[in-house]
Amino acid sequence: MRATALPLAILLPVLVAAAGCGGGPATGHDAIYPVDPGVADPGPRDGVADDADAPADAADVPPTDPGGPCEQLVAGIPWLCLGDDRCRAAGEWLACLGVQAGVAWGGACNDVTPGACEPSTGGAVCGSGGEDAPPACEDGTGCAHRVEVADGLFLGTCRGLPAGGCWSDDDCPENAPYCAGAALCPPDADCAFAPFPGRCVAKPPGPGCWDDAMCGDGRYCDGVTWCAFGDTVCTDAPGNCSEGPRPACGDGEACQNDSKEDKQFCIGATAAGNDGWCAPAPASLGGDCWDDGPCGESGESCLGARPCPPGTVCGALHAHPGVCGATPAPGRGLSVTLSSPENRVYDRAVIVNGGPVPIYLVRCMTLLIQFQFGGAWPADPTQFDAALSDATCAPEPADTDTQSLLRLAPGETRVLEGLEAFTSPGQVARPILGYLVGCTPGATDEQCREESEYQEIIGPEATYP
């Protein structure tokens, strides 16, 4: 089958880039962090991921050569990194994500923009149910970002886990079978946070709770104490169910108060109406931004932010703002892999967002595929021969225009399943992925057009088995 439509350009036209951050010769990170860094740590378990929250053996790793001004600047911002070494020192399950080589950042880093330490991800497919289910993940990882792609078949990708951590109950042992406090967005929901693992725990006796799910509708779990991964002194403690919905906000005004030092901002709210939560001003935690909004006048984006919903391990220990920097060039940090189980044609694809900003995809015709005929690609680059849709694509075509865009946070992945294409062994194919950056979470394609930038990557080539 051959179509002659623009590869997502009809669905997501070329757009004007969103406004970015900072203005003038020194952006926020330069003002906050001089060449001689020394950021005051608010203290352990303050909701900011830093060395005070790390176990002693990670915090006490001898420092390496501080290097030049860029290395010194990054060393003063606890969650930033220039390579995996810094992240691995805090946990083997962490990797440095979103480094932009060749892109200047501030006044100190002339040839690189740093990344952030995140759970490692390589895109290896995992799943459960069905004869085509992949094998279990290796030790130190768990099956994350799972989506039901067929009746009884769940597919995701393996992603790093600390000891005692979990992406789902499947990662937990019999003596602590419940995965609590994970920051996970349901596949068909609209969320404005990045996925982060939870903790394997035993269900508490009596009325105690570890998360909102234990409390049921109309109540939430309040007062849980989460300890840093690997902390042998602190002890996790359950909370209690409180009546009513968890305190939330819908816009910045809901969090304002008269104290300049304690000023709060509403983050996490979505265009689809999901409530957000109140968080400290990013500068008070050593950053520039929670989202693209404050990154205003120079066309930059908010890089490496980790907003975490309350009630999660991430929200209690690992939330941190990001920094303003250049919007990644098309394809930077992204990978698309065509794959096939057991000698079948390419009916599966894996999208990995290894960049520093969220990307937004349409849920229907998410990935377009071209075939090579006679040793050449189609003369018309807008032609495509097949497409893969996300499992959350609405069954009725009339519903697709009103669906919110699929958001993939930094480090997040998606497995697409179900392509049916007629081809012959040895035929060459390549994927075409169109996506948006700078959207408001929960917005539809139409709503995003005026505020976002359309980007596209083509390839790499792959050969049918």
What pLDDT, in 10s, does the model give residues 100-116? 999 999 888 999 999 99
CA dihedral 12→405→436→336, nearest 10 degrees, is: -100
Q: What is the pLDDT of residues 339-378, one digit of tens each?
A: 766 555 567 899 999 999 999 999 999 999 998 888 888 8
Quote the pLDDT of residue 271.
85
CA 310 – CA 239 distance, rounded (Å): 13
CA 192 – CA 76 distance, rounded (Å): 27
Q: What is the pLDDT of residues 290-335, one digit of tens each?
A: 999 888 767 899 999 999 999 999 999 999 999 999 999 999 999 9
Banded pLDDT at 259 (limits 50, 70, 90): low
What is the percentage of the chain residues whose pLDDT exceeds 90? 45
- Alpha carbon distances (Å) from 450 to 19, 116, 272, 347: 11, 29, 17, 34
Highest mean predicted confidence (pLDDT) among 92-96, 124-128, 461-465: 92-96
Quote the pLDDT of residue 260.
55
Tokens of 227: 């300890």
Q: Which range (2-16, 40-54, 160-174) has the least confidence? A: 2-16
CA 382 – CA 405 distance, rounded (Å): 22
Q: Which range (44-53, 137-146, 249-258, 371-380) has the least confidence? A: 44-53
Residue 431 confidence (pLDDT) above 50: yes
Quote the pLDDT of residue 5.
31
Quote the pLDDT of residue 112.
95
The residue with tokens 């994350």 is 144
Q: Which range (42-56, 208-222, 229-243) has the least confidence? A: 42-56
* C-beta of residue 326 within 8 angstroms of C-beta of residue 300: yes
Quote the pLDDT of residue 44.
37
